[in-house]
Amino acid sequence: MKACPFGTHRVIEPEGVLPQPAWKINNSMNTTYDNEIMIDVTHLNIDSASFRQIKEEVGADEEKVAAKIVEIVSERGKMHNPVTGSGGMLVGTVAEISKKMSQKHQVKVGDHVATLVSLSLTPLKIERIRKVHLDREQVEVEGKAIVFESGVVVKLPNDMSRSLALSVLDVAGAPIQTARLVRPGDTVMILGAAGKSGVLCSYVAKKMTGNVGKVIGLIHHNDRREELEELGFCDTILQTDATDTVGVYRMVHDATDGELCDVTINVVNTANTEMSCVLSTKEHGNVYFFSMASSFTKAALGAEGVGKDVNMIIGNGYATNHAAYALDIARENKKLLELFNKRYG
Ligand SMILES: NC(=O)c1ccc[n+]([C@@H]2O[C@H](COP(=O)([O-])OP(=O)(O)OC[C@H]3O[C@@H](n4cnc5c(N)ncnc54)[C@H](OP(=O)(O)O)[C@@H]3O)[C@@H](O)[C@H]2O)c1
């Protein structure tokens, strides 16, 4: 049976929209279409902003988090957090694929793969939750998922564990877009520098800006300061709450002798940090909002409100070659790989 390449044939409510903005999609695994790929799912990586919100709502308790995930997926047919609007991604094994899709996506039945399209649009059926890893936002499951023709699937690398690859691939859009934005000599700030994407972006920022440039890492708590110092990617580490807009601006002003930043990268997992980025960026500089907790309205109206002419970029989760680039970045630096193995491996 022929179906829509973007997956609209699975949308239940409201009719006619794409699967991502849909409230509910059909997660039946009894019938598949010839342009769908069925995956036996083993791990979910819940988007950081979503996982944090769930923990805040139900408590940092494995069973309660598991129950909330099951509730969302049963209600919506996908792991689409109704509060944050974000998803995550998954890994598993290809269970069913047509010849045409196999050629197009270069995968076959039995391949271990990661899907690089958001869980917020992926039909998902969870049969059982085996384990919730509260420390790394991952969930071991038994279940099935569908990838549409327009989706992105990559084979998992065989030189790293599934959970490590999953954590790198979850944020694969960020490092490659950092590389596109940062020029030699730039001053770059990363808000959330000690987090998963923060560490990857800090490394890429230092690599691109070189020794003449400067990388400022902003961290929330001091518990990961030592790890970040040990990596050596950030020339300056500032510790504060990124929602304290004027406080952040003053710190960045002082750290840059009033020059501010050429590029500001937001990889925090909490709301209300847009204006800390905007105020800390030079006139005509770039602000890259990778954080799923970013608000277009707050950024656009806030920048207008302070008369600040900065380019603001929405952190598209997809970029050409992003998966290979992110995995290479993780492999390239020994200390970075060790840290990722320790945290997520
Ligand atoms: N655009 C996309 O396609 C895409 C894809 C994947 C993920 N994301 C988003 O990218 C962001 C980062 O993801 P991740 O996996 O790297 O998350 P992560 O590892 O959990 O890191 C988030 C970091 O933000 C910091 N943070 C939280 N609140 C803060 C505050 N008030 N002030 C300063 N720092 C604060 C955290 O520090 P503490 O732990 O000390 O609080 C943590 O280091 C999330 O918003 C996620 O939703 C976007």
Q: How confident is the model over 136-190, as pLDDT tens digits? A: 999 999 999 999 999 999 999 999 998 899 999 999 999 999 999 999 999 999 9
* 103 alpha carbon – ligand 1 mean position (Å): 36
* 21 alpha carbon – ligand 1 mean position (Å): 22
Tell me if 241 CB under 6 Å of ligand 1: yes
Nearest to residue 3, comparing CAs of 149, 159, 209?
149
Q: Which domains does the chain have, with CATH numbers?
A: 8-160 (no CATH), 173-344 (3.40.50.720)
pLDDT of 330: 95
Distance CA 81, CA 72 (A): 7
Which residues have a Cβ under 8 Å from the Cβ of 84 and sit 6 or more positions away? 47, 49, 50, 53, 292, 293
Tell me if 138 CB under 6 Å of ligand 1: no
pLDDT of 198: 98
Q: Which atom of ligand 1 is nearest to the CA of 315?
A: 1
289 DSSP β-pair partners: 266, 314
* 280 alpha carbon – ligand 1 mean position (Å): 18
Tell me if 195 CB under 6 Å of ligand 1: yes
Question: Across residues 105-128, what is the average pLDDT?
Answer: 96
Distance CA 13, CA 201 (A): 37
Band the pLDDT of 229: cuts 50, 70, 90: very high
Tell me if 278 CB under 6 Å of ligand 1: no
pLDDT of 31: 81
- Per the CB < 8 A criterion, the answer to whether 54 and 170 are in contact is no
Distance CA 54, CA 127 (A): 20
Q: Which amino acid is at 317?
A: G
Report the chain's mean pLDDT, rounded to a whole number.
96
* 52 alpha carbon – ligand 1 mean position (Å): 9
Question: Across residues 45-70, what is the average pLDDT?
Answer: 97
Tell me if 213 CB under 6 Å of ligand 1: no
Residue 27: HSE in the Cβ half-sphere, 13 Å Cα cutoff: 25
Question: Across residues 52-71, what is the average pLDDT?
Answer: 97
Q: Which of 267, 277, 295, 318 to mutate to test the pocket of ligand 1 (most atoms within 8 A of CB)?
A: 267
Question: Across residues 193-217, what is the average pLDDT?
Answer: 97
Distance CA 192, CA 48 (A): 12
Tell me if 342 CB under 6 Å of ligand 1: no
Residue 338 has pLDDT above 80, yes or no: yes
- Per the CB < 8 A criterion, the answer to whether 11 and 18 are in contact is yes
* 291 alpha carbon – ligand 1 mean position (Å): 6
pLDDT of 289: 98
Long-range CB pairs of 100-107, under 8 A, 24+ apart, other chains included: 100/34, 100/35, 101/34, 101/35, 101/36, 101/37, 101/149, 104/149, 105/37, 105/153, 106/155, 107/37, 107/153, 107/155
Tell me if 69 CB under 6 Å of ligand 1: no
Tell me if 227 CB under 6 Å of ligand 1: no
Residue 2 has pLDDT above 80, yes or no: no
pLDDT of 32: 83
Q: Which atom of ligand 1 is nearest to the CA of 49?
A: 47
pLDDT tens string 25-37: 999 999 888 899 9
Q: Which tokens hold the place of 59? A: 């408590």
Band the pLDDT of 1: cuts 50, 70, 90: low
pLDDT tens string 278-331: 999 999 999 999 999 999 999 999 999 999 999 999 999 999 999 999 999 999
- Residue with CA nearest ligand 1 atom 2: 317
Q: Which tokens hold the place of 195? A: 């987090």
